[in-house]
Amino acid sequence: MNSFGNNFCITLFGESHGSCVGCVIDGIPSGFSPDFEAIDSDLLRRSPRAAAFSTSRQETDSYEILSGLYRGTTCGTPLTVIFPNKDSRPGDYAFTAPRPSHADLAAFEKYGECCDLRGGGAFSGRLTAPLVFAGAVAKQILSGKGVSIASHICSVLDIADQPFDPVSNELPQLDPMFPLVEASVRRPLEALFDELRASGDSVGAVAECKIVSLPAGIGEPFFDSVESVLSHLLFSIPGVHAVEFGEGFGFGKLRGSQANDPIIPDRRTATNRSGGINGGISNGMPIVFRAAFRPVPSIAVEQDSIDLKSGEAVKLTITGRHDVCILPRGLAAVEAAAAIGILDLLMQDKGRKL
Amino acid sequence: MNSFGNNFCITLFGESHGSCVGCVIDGIPSGFSPDFEAIDSDLLRRSPRAAAFSTSRQETDSYEILSGLYRGTTCGTPLTVIFPNKDSRPGDYAFTAPRPSHADLAAFEKYGECCDLRGGGAFSGRLTAPLVFAGAVAKQILSGKGVSIASHICSVLDIADQPFDPVSNELPQLDPMFPLVEASVRRPLEALFDELRASGDSVGAVAECKIVSLPAGIGEPFFDSVESVLSHLLFSIPGVHAVEFGEGFGFGKLRGSQANDPIIPDRRTATNRSGGINGGISNGMPIVFRAAFRPVPSIAVEQDSIDLKSGEAVKLTITGRHDVCILPRGLAAVEAAAAIGILDLLMQDKGRKL
Amino acid sequence: MNSFGNNFCITLFGESHGSCVGCVIDGIPSGFSPDFEAIDSDLLRRSPRAAAFSTSRQETDSYEILSGLYRGTTCGTPLTVIFPNKDSRPGDYAFTAPRPSHADLAAFEKYGECCDLRGGGAFSGRLTAPLVFAGAVAKQILSGKGVSIASHICSVLDIADQPFDPVSNELPQLDPMFPLVEASVRRPLEALFDELRASGDSVGAVAECKIVSLPAGIGEPFFDSVESVLSHLLFSIPGVHAVEFGEGFGFGKLRGSQANDPIIPDRRTATNRSGGINGGISNGMPIVFRAAFRPVPSIAVEQDSIDLKSGEAVKLTITGRHDVCILPRGLAAVEAAAAIGILDLLMQDKGRKL
Amino acid sequence: MNSFGNNFCITLFGESHGSCVGCVIDGIPSGFSPDFEAIDSDLLRRSPRAAAFSTSRQETDSYEILSGLYRGTTCGTPLTVIFPNKDSRPGDYAFTAPRPSHADLAAFEKYGECCDLRGGGAFSGRLTAPLVFAGAVAKQILSGKGVSIASHICSVLDIADQPFDPVSNELPQLDPMFPLVEASVRRPLEALFDELRASGDSVGAVAECKIVSLPAGIGEPFFDSVESVLSHLLFSIPGVHAVEFGEGFGFGKLRGSQANDPIIPDRRTATNRSGGINGGISNGMPIVFRAAFRPVPSIAVEQDSIDLKSGEAVKLTITGRHDVCILPRGLAAVEAAAAIGILDLLMQDKGRKL
């Protein structure tokens, strides 16, 4: 239930205001020396920073390795990491009325009165910290095989970045904290985030991700298609409500003669509307997908809810500081999901030792 | 790899031009009497018919039950069904050059020269016949618990049907073979299909699906979120390249104040932009999602490919009759994926005997 | 439930008196050409023959390949095989009173009145036909990596064959139909079987199995220990009630100074009381294990049972011909379980392409 | 790999001399209040005590709950527990030569130079601490359904306790720290342990376990037979090399007329040689099995080994204090394996909420 992967398998645990969140990473090859600077760099991208687009809570993402590492090298056993919850402020989230579009009501129906919804409990975005950690490990292992992953802010409302070039095998240089292909988009985005922060509102956004140098032939025809595995992981990320590969929903507006990718010498395709996948299998072109995040549901605007005990209507205002747009932070989770899924499929074919 | 589900588990097998396609359905409760008329009705929706929007091949969807049924009732053991391939015409699909945007090239890279790509092999839409069979069984079991599922043609190019009412707990009456909420949309769609058939082209489309009366509390916080499980299955369907729940990609255009669903008495929400899911868990409102199918890549237009042996560029024209738009047939597969995923999650909570 | 394996995965289906029994073998590498003579030879060992020790029913083990094979070579998709049930004689097994020590009563409690217990239903030894088929395929793949497997009749009552040499990397030549290390044991065994047949009785027995040339390092520390995986499969075989590795239960009679295997140059051990496994991991010495089969419970002696409807005591006599001792046939299943488990673990480490 | 269970799923992690060992327990129902006194009582049984039969190391089994518990009650998310390693003494186990019949050599072959074998690393019996914790939780949940489990020292060398009554639905009162059905067996056992301690030797032993009041109908026909699931878990316990159900290997010495269990009114059997299982399914009688532990391989007697670098023969003497017989401590692990396996199977049928 809280585990994913047949070969590179992660198990998540923890609640936002419990003692920690963490994960067990199983199937990691022995003799691998994690680059902790690279892991910290991904964790920093995910962390809540006092930036224009994010919360000012000082949630520190320090972590402890509990197992699997010996003298700085993986020893073949599961790598377990925890992120202690140091700055929990339960008062922010007293639970009498479920917050609209949060997991509160659904969780209450599932688990009953005993569920821990402080700070979102197990539904909190904080669970993406161990996910990003595991993803950073997966990225490094993939990188050793030549596979690279990048993502950027694709669009927010009607402000759109230039999309990745789907055909080129290159990844552009991106600012890790605010990745945009076209740097000039940053200014209007920051202005939008300022305006939303002032009004106590939030906004949804779309991420785009590209994976290059993945060999052709990865993935399985039916239930372990590349799309199935990646979407399974992507939809686990809190806030993701849509995933598309290649042209995605755009295919609904195309004719076959416009949509097919001509095959050219060197077993490549002239275009890459398929997003690097045919029949669920990587075809050697870059994997390209997009994922949409809903607006952060915690907003400083008065909303309708009910009192769970009486069942009667109440007005609810969510206090505390929250993200205006989760996407800049969410990109680290998107890349983590991509890396974990691709590595698991690669190991299915090539074994743990790749 | 070709199996899915922890509790209601299906294993697909077969190739388009082998002796049959089929599946093993494990976890089916004993003492269940399948309604074969309902199964046949779903299979008919999936079958290639000589209709305006489909192929004229007479691929008959007759099937045999190999195991699991005793005196018309499931006996607790796996239910196995095969669909013999009677009308295979391998000549249609000689494989010297990979067909653009088919699985040919990716499969060749994965499996090598020995892979069976006649008619698409294991990548063929024919594999959806056993999927639809399993889905029809799942639907009946769900129906016994009050859960119902329907889908319709949401849009093709710029012709859009009226969407399902996301809040109402009702499903509209739909023509099973050409399901539209707004019947007047049929005429322009048929005209479009006629035009495409004449030009040897095809077209993509978007399906919408709605699940009603699913209890709140189904699904798991992270990796077995309702979205994760359904998208995993949906992306297994040949041609599906995009999946979204509730507002989906539309969330990227909304502010939190526009996107949140106000909670109202009876633990319902006034709107249902979340598509019936929060934190990966069903919230008691209808589940609503959309999936986009790419245009059928088999088109009668000359295309660029390569000769696999020499590696040189060649021109390719695909003969034979093919679907102009797969969606009317694909809806049965979309509903099957929805039913299988939801039943598996329901059994996780309630056990095999529900 | 009816599937096993993460990498080389088999799914069994069928009932003894239904239309067939069969299995889906997933994860088989593409480009593999099964040696059907070797498969048939293993199936012959398993088949009910009119031999001294077995039944005279003419249950033919003919089979059909339904998928996964193209021009005699695996094409990367699941290999499905069925064994049609041609000579079903339901009259032999009318089910009013459960047969002692058969699955009848337990199955009735599990599945209710609808369960198919004709001929043992899904509990029949007939299900080992597809298991042996899958095992024969696994053996051939293992053989390509140098790994070999053999088994023999270890003991029946107080008649004991000489055990395998646990240290040597060789396997002795054995009569496939009646494998004994010490050929002179055959005569007293045949005499015993003749006596039992005459009295309508049956007898239990112990099998011994040895796997040579398995590389060190296969298996996982805890839940996928070699012993865990092999015992999981062995206890699936109808009639197996005990499994031991190396000295097994004999360890309960030994001191540490007698039980430890001295380590000698070339990373071998002077003795092999550990049965080739330490800490769940293969250590490079031969894997040696034993499995005990209960006496076939179908005996021509009057037994006590109850009438399931009235609940009252009845006398039951089982007619028809049955095996006196299942072991000679059961060895093929034991080797199949060993081969499937070892191949699955090997692929975990080395990938599908080994 | 380090996870087991489809419904009640545990994931183990940690190494003996790393910072901790622990486990994640997923699938635990929400609203369950663990009885920590009962858990501590089982942990005490497993802990190394300065008793006659055990080591004098003061390894304290204190633990911390990291997740899944809120106000003393499970909140539906994974329950994670760690046992910090406080008293690690790496000097005891310098690794230049592999210890005979330890995992050292096999682990070194598997993981290479980077593996952490201090104190046995991930192969240490210390990993049974989280296993026993998870088992104690499972026992409590089972107890709420009326199912009870007990075990005792069945035999050590030629000193044998009286076996459990396999037919009665009762469990005898047992001393938790030294459980024997026949109390008078304690004295000779203690004398044997004293003698072995004096000579620096160890001894193997056999455990017997009995599960009462399990409903009939639990388990699956083939790969999830009760025997398969329990043996899978039992063979994970360090030192277990043999498992048998009911008469087990004794069946090899019986005729069918002696081995079958007559069925009597109330759907019971007059004897219980089958150990409560037929066709892999519980039949309503007590589940009875035995497991043999090898002698603890750490003995104070000089042994043969090799120097891993030079490959040359060396003499090895293992210092430090070790268990003379692991069984009294191992019984808690045996019961844990039984409880985890049975609960997982029960949830397969009845769902997480049972």
Return the H-helix or E-strand segment holding B333. Answer: helix B327-350
Q: Quick one: average pLDDT of B181-185? A: 97
Distance CA A30, CA D115 (A): 7
Q: Are C200 and C218 in contact (CB under 8 A)?
A: no
Q: Are C240 and D82 in contact (CB under 8 A)?
A: no
Residues of C in contact with B24 (CB under 8 A): 2, 11, 13, 24
Residue of B nearest to D77 (CA): B221
Distance CA D279, CA B142 (A): 30
Structure tokens at A235: 């939809």
Distance CA D99, CA D319 (A): 11
Q: Return the bridge partners of C22, or none.
A: C13, C82
Alpha-helix runs per DSSP H in A53-112: 104-111
C248: alpha, beta or left? (left if phi > 0; alpha if psi -120 to 50): left
Helices A128-144, A36-46: inter-axial angle, 10-degree rounding: 140
Is B257 an interface residue toward A (CB < 8 Å)?
yes
The DSSP 8-state label assigned to residue A323 in this structure reads -
Is A350 an interface residue toward C (CB < 8 Å)?
yes
Please determine, for residue B50, whether its predicted confidence score (pLDDT) is greater than 50: no
- Predicted local distance difference test score (pLDDT) of residue C82: 98
- Predicted local distance difference test score (pLDDT) of residue A287: 98
Helices D327-350, D128-143: inter-axial angle, 10-degree rounding: 50
Q: Are A242 and B251 in contact (CB under 8 A)?
A: yes
D71: alpha, beta or left? (left if phi > 0; alpha if psi -120 to 50): left
Distance CA D172, CA D186 (A): 16
pLDDT single digits (tens) B270-302: 999 999 999 999 999 999 999 999 999 999 999
The DSSP 8-state label assigned to residue D238 in this structure reads T
- Predicted local distance difference test score (pLDDT) of residue A87: 60
Q: Quick one: average pLDDT of B71-83? A: 95
SS3 D258: helix
Distance CA B290, CA B302 (A): 32
The proportion of chain A whose per-residue pLDDT surpasses 70, expressed as a percent, equals 94
Q: What amino acid occupies position D88?
A: S
Please determine, for residue A94, whether its predicted confidence score (pLDDT) is greater than 60: no
Q: Quick one: average pLDDT of D233-258? A: 98
Distance CA C251, CA D189 (A): 17
Q: Are B26 and B75 in contact (CB under 8 A)?
A: no
- Predicted local distance difference test score (pLDDT) of residue D213: 98
Q: Return the bridge partners of A155, or none.
A: A160, A206
Distance CA C315, CA C299 (A): 13
Return the H-helix or E-strand segment holding C40. Answer: helix C36-46
Q: Quick one: average pLDDT of D60-69? A: 90
Alpha-helix runs per DSSP H in A104-156: 104-111, 128-144
Structure tokens at B130: 């056993």
Tell me what the pLDDT averaged over chain C comes to. Answer: 93
Alpha-helix runs per DSSP H in C144-271: 186-199, 226-234, 256-259
- Predicted local distance difference test score (pLDDT) of residue A115: 85
Residue of A242, A217, A18, A215 whose CA lies nearest to A115: A18
Q: For residue A218, count CB atoms less than 10 angstroms from its CB and return exposed for 0-12, middle for 13-18, buried for 19 or more.
A: buried
Q: What amino acid occupies position A39?
A: I
**Is there a contact between B349 and D352 if contact means CB atoms under 8 Å apart?**
yes
- Predicted local distance difference test score (pLDDT) of residue D60: 57
Distance CA D250, CA D256 (A): 12
Q: Which residues contact B69 (CB under 8 A, 6 or more apart)?
A: B34, B75, B79, C18
A312: alpha, beta or left? (left if phi > 0; alpha if psi -120 to 50): beta
Residue of B240, B239, B259 whose CA lies nearest to B249: B259
Residue of B70, D279, B9 whose CA lies nearest to C2: B9
Q: What are phi and psi of B57, to 5 degrees?
A: -60, 140
Is C281 an interface residue toward D (CB < 8 Å)?
yes
Return the H-helix or E-strand segment holding D290. Answer: strand D287-293
Q: Are D241 and C244 in contact (CB under 8 A)?
A: yes
Please determine, for residue D203, whether its predicted confidence score (pLDDT) is greater than 50: yes
pLDDT single digits (tens) B157-177: 999 999 999 999 999 999 999
Q: Return the bridge partners of D305, or none.
A: D314
Residue of D69, B64, D205 whose CA lies nearest to C256: D205
- Predicted local distance difference test score (pLDDT) of residue B240: 98
- Predicted local distance difference test score (pLDDT) of residue A114: 84
The proportion of chain C whose per-residue pLDDT surpasses 90, expressed as a percent, equals 82
Structure tokens at C182: 């010490």
Q: For residue B51, count CB atoms less than 10 angstroms from its CB and return exposed for 0-12, middle for 13-18, buried for 19 or more.
A: middle
- Predicted local distance difference test score (pLDDT) of residue A63: 96
Please determine, for residue B107, whether its predicted confidence score (pLDDT) is greater than 60: yes
Q: Which residues contact B125 (CB under 8 A, 6 or more apart)?
A: B238, B239, B326, B329
Residues of C in contact with D242 (CB under 8 A): 242-245, 248-249, 251
Within 10 angstroms of residue C182's Cβ, the number of other Cβ atoms is: 12
Please determine, for residue C142, whether its predicted confidence score (pLDDT) is greater than 70: yes
Is B77 an interface residue toward D (CB < 8 Å)?
yes
- Predicted local distance difference test score (pLDDT) of residue A121: 87
Please determine, for residue C74, whether its predicted confidence score (pLDDT) is greater than 80: yes
Confidence label for B117 from pLDDT (cuts 50, 70 and 90) = confident
- Predicted local distance difference test score (pLDDT) of residue A52: 47
- Predicted local distance difference test score (pLDDT) of residue D87: 60
> A271 CA to chain D: closest CA distance, Å?
41
The proportion of chain B whose per-residue pLDDT surpasses 90, expressed as a percent, equals 83
Number of inter-chain CB pairs under 8 A, A vs C: 28
Residue of D282, D296, D293 whose CA lies nearest to D324: D296
Tell me what the pLDDT averaged over chain B comes to. Answer: 93
Tell which wins on pLDDT, D86 or B10.
Answer: B10
* DSSP states along C72-101: TEE-SSPEEEEEE--S--GGGG--SSPPTT
> Among D4, D19, D70, which would you mutate to test the A interface (most chain A Cβ atoms within 10 Å of its Cβ)?
D70
Among A212-216, C55-59, D277-281, which is the least confidently predicted range?
C55-59
pLDDT single digits (tens) C6-19: 999 999 999 988 99
- Predicted local distance difference test score (pLDDT) of residue B87: 60
Please determine, for residue D55, whether its predicted confidence score (pLDDT) is greater than 70: no
**Is there a contact between B27 and C67 if contact means CB atoms under 8 Å apart?**
no
B91: alpha, beta or left? (left if phi > 0; alpha if psi -120 to 50): alpha
**Is there a contact between B77 and D221 if contact means CB atoms under 8 Å apart?**
yes
Among A80-94, A122-136, A144-158, D72-86, which is the least confidently predicted range?
A80-94
Distance CA C50, CA C53 (A): 8
pTM: 0.96
Please determine, for residue C183, whether its predicted confidence score (pLDDT) is greater than 90: yes
CA atoms within 13 A on the CB side of C296: 27
Q: Quick one: average pLDDT of A212-241? A: 96
Q: Quick one: average pLDDT of D3-29? A: 95
- Predicted local distance difference test score (pLDDT) of residue A50: 43
Within 10 angstroms of residue C33's Cβ, the number of other Cβ atoms is: 12
> A141 CA to chain C: closest CA distance, Å?
16
> C220 CA to chain A: closest CA distance, Å?
9
Binding partners of D (≥3 Cβ pairs within 8 A): A, B, C
- Predicted local distance difference test score (pLDDT) of residue B331: 97
Confidence label for C114 from pLDDT (cuts 50, 70 and 90) = confident
Please determine, for residue D51, whether its predicted confidence score (pLDDT) is greater than 80: no
Residue of D338, B280, B27 whose CA lies nearest to A2: B280
Distance CA B110, CA A284 (A): 11
Distances in whole angstroms, Cα of residue A258 to Cα of each of B202, B203, B305, D305: 9, 9, 15, 70
SS3 D334: helix
**Is there a contact between C14 and B110 if contact means CB atoms under 8 Å apart?**
no
- Predicted local distance difference test score (pLDDT) of residue A143: 97
**What is the interface pTM, i.e. ipTM, of the complex?**
0.96
The DSSP 8-state label assigned to residue A216 in this structure reads T
CA C238 to chain centre: 8
pLDDT single digits (tens) D316-351: 988 887 899 999 999 999 999 999 999 999 999 899
Q: Are C121 and B71 in contact (CB under 8 A)?
A: no
Q: Which residues contact A195 (CB under 8 A, 6 or more apart)?
A: none
> D221 CA to chain A: closest CA distance, Å?
24
The DSSP 8-state label assigned to residue C34 in this structure reads -
pLDDT single digits (tens) B205-221: 999 999 999 999 999 98
Distance CA C191, CA A150 (A): 74
Domains, chain C: 3-350 (3.60.150.10)
Q: Are B328 and B178 in contact (CB under 8 A)?
A: yes
Tell which wins on pLDDT, C118 or C6.
Answer: C6
Tell me what the pLDDT averaged over chain D comes to. Answer: 93
- Predicted local distance difference test score (pLDDT) of residue A54: 54
Please determine, for residue D50, whether its predicted confidence score (pLDDT) is greater than 50: no
Q: What amino acid occupies position D345?
A: L
Structure tokens at B263: 């909670």
Distances in whole angstroms, Cα of residue D263 to Cα of each of A146, C303, C314, D226: 65, 8, 9, 20
Q: What are the E-state strand segments in B104-164?
A: 148-156, 159-160
Distance CA C248, CA B166 (A): 62
Confidence label for A89 from pLDDT (cuts 50, 70 and 90) = low
Candidates A77, A221, A351; nearest CB to C351: A351
CA atoms within 13 A on the CB side of A142: 28
- Predicted local distance difference test score (pLDDT) of residue A162: 98
Is C98 an interface residue toward B (CB < 8 Å)?
no
Quick one: CA torsion of C272, C273, C279, C284, rounded to 10 degrees?
Answer: 10
- Predicted local distance difference test score (pLDDT) of residue A225: 97
Chain B residues 5-24 with a CB less than 8 Å from chain D: 6-7
Please determine, for residue D53, whether its predicted confidence score (pLDDT) is greater than 90: no
Residue of A202, A204, A201, A203 whose CA lies nearest to A301: A201
> Among B11, B224, B348, B353, which would you mutate to test the D interface (most chain D Cβ atoms within 10 Å of its Cβ)?
B348
